[in-house]
Amino acid sequence: MTILTMTNDIISWKSPSNIALIKYWGKHGVQLPQNASLSMTLKNAATNTELQYRHSPNDMEVQYFFDGERSQIFEEKVIIYLERLKSEMPFLGDYYLKFSSSNSFPHSAGIASSASSMSAMALCLVSMEEEVSGKKLAKSDFFKRASHIARLGSGSASRSVYGSWSTWGVAEGIKNSSDTYASPLDFSPHEVFSGLGDAILLVDTTPKKVSSSLGHHLMKVHPYATGRYRQAAMNLEALMVSMQVGDFDSFACVVENEALSLHGLLMTSSPEGLLLKPGSLQIIDAVRQFRNETRTKIAFTIDAGPNIHLLYPQTERENVMQFIENELLQYCENGRWIDDEIGDGPERMK
């Protein structure tokens, strides 16, 4: 194995993960969503990716390092992605590319890293495209292009190139919405949603048995698919109203319905995927009881895994911290959870 030595151009981006509140589950064509989704960009869970490149007389050559170590598994996936990208970015064929990535969140934290890693890589590639072509894009076009390139790697990554709130997918009521790239939410949500906290409760961090690619694929023949896409559109509309008027209760209702619908679809697909653990259900139960008894503004959402995200306005932080400490840590693997919140989006580091 030869290690490339580079004396050349370096680009580096830090890009965050995101958590979908209206879930993307089911795709068609080349990574096009069956329904529009809406997500909140996180602050602390992020990937740092550095790209070193130099001109190569031969074809594209790629090396991928993760946490300082060359990673064969990731490298193979990245090469497949970049080969597909050549039709979009033909210049890639003329370069040596060396990627070095690391995540800010701990290993095996049960946080999907595809959104942060693919968006960080896409941002590096679009910056490189600007540099090698000598054509600088307007800021909004830059992020639109990065979102499009990220989407080709992982659908949810298309939303991570923006801070705060993003939507992806054509939706009635969202101006200029597109299936090929995400956009920042086209209104400012009510202040109750600014600075929203996200406590990620780690119930089980063993690698999941059902990949999202398989999950999307299973939707192609899922008996509930049509109803699901209709439900997602209705939930998106309802969520945007809640966010505009500042109604946390109806926000919680929609967000929780989306999370449980995703898992309902998983459990009723063939082959089925049961990803929730007893601890996940115990947390859901405890959150609902706590909310009924204390009227605390708190909502749960869940990705395609057993871990639970608790969303809450900053005014509730003290209450929520006590609740986690007193009642929920018992359901977390080794008492672990991640303290995150809504973030400002990616940052160019070099």
Which stretches of the chain bind ligand PMV, using CB under 6 A? 20, 23-25, 37, 112, 114, 154-156, 212, 216, 262, 303-304
Distances (CA, A) of 3 to 38, 82, 228, 265, 338: 41, 19, 48, 45, 36
Phi, psi values for residue 293, rounded to 5°: -80, -35
Name the minimum Å distance from CB 323 to ligand PMV: 26
Residue with tokens 């303290």: 339
Name the minimum Å distance from CB 85 to ligand PMV: 17
d(CA 333, CA 139): 42
Task: Tell me how crowded residue 224 is: count the other CB atoms within 10 A of its CB.
Answer: 14
Name the minimum Å distance from CB 303 to ligand PMV: 5
Distances (CA, A) of 180 to 53, 113, 173, 302: 27, 21, 17, 25
d(CA 241, CA 13): 34
Residues constituting the chain: 350
Name the minimum Å distance from CB 177 to ligand PMV: 15
